[in-house]
Every structure is written in structure tokens, then in C-alpha cells.
Amino acid sequence: MRQALLLLGVLAVAGTAQATRVQGSLPPAPDAGTQTFVAPAAAKSKADDSSGVRTGTIEAVNSAGGTFDVHGQGMTFDPKRVKVYSRSGKPASLSSLHKGSVVRFTLDPTDIKHRRVAVIYVD
């Protein structure tokens, strides 16, 4: 009997309960107030990773003209200022750059086009 009364009490309360759904937009993200808009040009300049080391195989090279191609991209360098190092880490000459050579290189951070190489490591 006691169980029957408890069951009737639960059903009476449950029958009157209703779910509520809030209409409208979603609440803002917790950090939404701290985000600021960055113009595309400014974002591009801040996303510069020109100091990173790139790797590739030389597809074409012109040491006297200061150019070589890696991954289909033409890279330039100043033949008088570029630093070239051999696999052992010792300074090397531009004559060590050949088609098919595997190289690692860094870009000159002062070049706004990000095409001028500053240091070349010949592997």
C-alpha cells in the first residue's frame, strides 16, 4: 500500500513537469570578449615563418645568377653574401650546389617577398 501511494505521488508530480526550451541565439563563448579582429594583411605579416628551415631537392641552379629552384619555386640568393655549409657543418662554396642536391635553407627575414635565401646547408 505504501508503495502504491508513493508511485501515485511520483506520477502526479511527473505529470505536471514540463521541459523548457530557450529560443534564440547561442550564448557567447567564454573567451569571446577577449578576441579582437585582426586585418588579413596584419595576420599575414604576423604569420611569417621565414626564420624556419626549409628542405628540398635542387631542381635547377644558377650559382653565378644567384638562383635555384626547389619544389617548383624559384629562390634567389646574393652570391656574395649567402652562407653555404657542407654536411659536416664546415663552410662550403657555391660550387657545391648541383641539380639533385638535397638542401636545407633559411630565408632572409628582411626580404618581404620571402624568396631570398640567407643560409644553405648541402646534405
Q: Flag whether 108 is in a domain.
A: yes
The answer to whether 108 and 117 are in contact (CB under 8 A) is yes
Q: Give pTM, 2 decimals.
A: 0.59
Residues 6 or more apart in contact with residue 83 via CB below 8 angstroms: 91, 118, 119, 120
Residue 83 near residue 119, CB atoms below 8 Å = yes
Over the stretch 41-60, which tens digit does the pLDDT of each residue have?
A: 555 545 555 568 999 999 99
In a domain, 89, yes or no: yes
Whether 108 shows a pLDDT value over 70: the answer reads yes
pLDDT per position as a tens digit, 20-39: 666 766 666 666 556 666 66
| Beta strand pairing call for 53-62 and 73-76 | unpaired
For residue 106, the domain's CATH number is 2.40.50.320
d(CA 74, CA 47): 21
Which residue segment(s) compose the domain that 95 sits in? Answer: 51-122
